[in-house]
């Protein structure tokens, strides 16, 4: 693995309890500050690959790999923001708890940092003085709370597992723009997982395309869209480019 890689795995194989191979010989490395997309159909192994990178494989999945670079300073945001928050605990308290644990701050400083994050993520500052539960926020707001939690540990790498799939198109666009802005501000690397090539093309410079547990193609977004080599990448690219550009 090359020296610039801050988080990565080489020759990753994952198996279920029965010994079926779920992920085959996947190598992926994230460099400081870069934005890499992992794209592929449902069930292709994107989430398991991401979980392996952060050491959070589910029970019953066995791993073999040739090499890895771990990084304790990375944060992950998940597909369904509602289910990632505790529905019975006030939102602000959950945010404070993450800050307190990750940054070991005293109560006053914890509150100040949490309030600052609310402001940066355009969340209602009133959350800081109320006991509002996650259920009283919109999906987009919940996802911003999770992004705030992720940022509170000053990550070197932010791993996003379909962070906008559960959101409507407008909120999806706003959330993607926000992640981009925060990345420019703070310089962390992003590994962005999605089944949507159009979304990946919007946020990433380079992509790895996954199918049935394997990476079938990788390279700069532009090349993958204009000169895809693998049949599956061709299908994905054809599905998003307008007919006129395809013909051109």
Ligand X SMILES: Nc1ncnc2c1ncn2[C@@H]1O[C@H](COP(=O)(O)OP(=O)(O)OP(=O)(O)O)[C@@H](O)[C@H]1O
Per CB under 6 A, residues contacting ligand X are: 16, 22, 40, 42-48, 58, 60-61, 195
Closest CA to 55 of 43, 44, 42, 68: 68
CA dihedral 122, 71, 159, 242 (to 10 degrees): 120
Piece of the chain touching Mg ion by CB under 5 A; list 39-47, 92-100, 104-112, 123-131: 39-47
Q: Which is nearer to Mg ion, 40 or 228 (CB)?
A: 40
Contacts for 164 with CB less than 8 Å, ≥ 6 apart: 143, 171, 172, 175, 176, 194, 199
Q: Which does 242 bind (CB under 5 to 8 A by kind): Mg ion, ligand X, none?
A: none
Piece of the chain touching Mg ion by CB under 5 A; list 5-13, 43-51, 143-151, 224-232: 43-51
Tell the smallest beta-carbon distance from residue 85 to ligand X (Å): 19
Question: Measured between alpha carbons, how far is residue 211 from residues 171, 203, 216 in Å?
Answer: 28, 21, 7
As separate numbers, helices (DSSP H) first and strands (DSSP E) second, the chain gives: 10, 10
Closest CA to 203 of 227, 186, 231, 184: 184
Q: Which does 45 bind (CB under 5 to 8 A by kind): Mg ion, ligand X, none?
A: ligand X
Q: Which is nearer to Mg ion, 47 or 202 (CB)?
A: 47
Q: What is the DSSP code string of 163-228?
A: TTTTS-HHHHHHHHHHHHHHHHHH--EEEEEES-HHHHHHH-SEEEEEETTEEEEEEEHHHHHHS-
Tell the smallest beta-carbon distance from residue 200 to ligand X (Å): 12
47 forms part of the interface with Mg ion (CB under 5 A): yes
Within 10 A of 7 (CB to CB), how many other CB atoms are there?
A: 22
Q: Which is nearer to ligand X, 12 or 91 (CB)?
A: 12
Tell the smallest beta-carbon distance from residue 66 to ligand X (Å): 20
Within 10 A of 123 (CB to CB), how many other CB atoms are there?
A: 23
Q: Which is nearer to ligand X, 12 or 99 (CB)?
A: 12
Piece of the chain touching Mg ion by CB under 5 A; list 41-49, 89-97, 135-143, 218-226: 41-49
Q: Which does 43 bind (CB under 5 to 8 A by kind): Mg ion, ligand X, none?
A: ligand X
How close are the terminal C-alpha atoms of the chain, in Å? 39
Q: Which is nearer to ligand X, 17 or 104 (CB)?
A: 17
Q: H or E segment at 5?
A: strand 5-15
- β-pairing, 157-161 vs 21-31, is unpaired
Q: Which is nearer to ligand X, 54 or 112 (CB)?
A: 54
Tell the smallest beta-carbon distance from residue 146 to Mg ion (Å): 16
Which residue is nearest to Mg ion, using beta carbons?
Answer: 47
Tell the smallest beta-carbon distance from residue 62 to Mg ion (Å): 19
- Kindly list the residues in this chain that would bind Mg ion in the complex (CB under 5 A): 47
């Amino acid at each position: 693995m090359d020296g610039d890689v801050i988080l990565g795995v080489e020759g990753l194989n994952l198996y279920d309890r029965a010994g079926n191979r779920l992920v085959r010989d996947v190598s992926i490395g994230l460099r400081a500050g870069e934005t890499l997309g992992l794209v592929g159909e449902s069930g292709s192994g994107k989430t398991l690959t991401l979980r392996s990178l952060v050491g959070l494989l589910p029970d019953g999945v066995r791993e073999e790999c040739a090499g890895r670079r771990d990084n304790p300073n990375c944060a992950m945001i998940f597909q369904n923001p509602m289910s990632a928050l505790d529905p019975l605990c006030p939102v602000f308290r959950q945010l404070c708890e993450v800050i307190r644990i990750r940054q070991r701050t005293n109560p006053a400083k914890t509150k100040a940092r949490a309030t600052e994050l609310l402001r940066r993520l355009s969340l209602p500052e009133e959350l800081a003085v109320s006991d509002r539960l996650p259920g009283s926020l919109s999906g987009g707001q919940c996802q911003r709370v999770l992004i705030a939690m992720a940022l509170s540990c000053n990550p070197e790498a932010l791993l996003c597992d379909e962070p906008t799939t559960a959101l409507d198109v407008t909120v999806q666009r706003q959330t993607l723009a926000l992640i981009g802005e925060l990345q420019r501000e703070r310089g962390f690397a992003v590994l962005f997982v999605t089944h949507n090539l159009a979304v990946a093309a919007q946020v990433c410079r380079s992509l790895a395309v996954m199918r049935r547990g394997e990476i079938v193609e990788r390279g700069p977004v532009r090349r993958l869209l204009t000169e895809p080599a693998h049949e599956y990448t061709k299908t994905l690219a054809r599905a998003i480019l307008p007919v006129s550009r395809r013909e051109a």
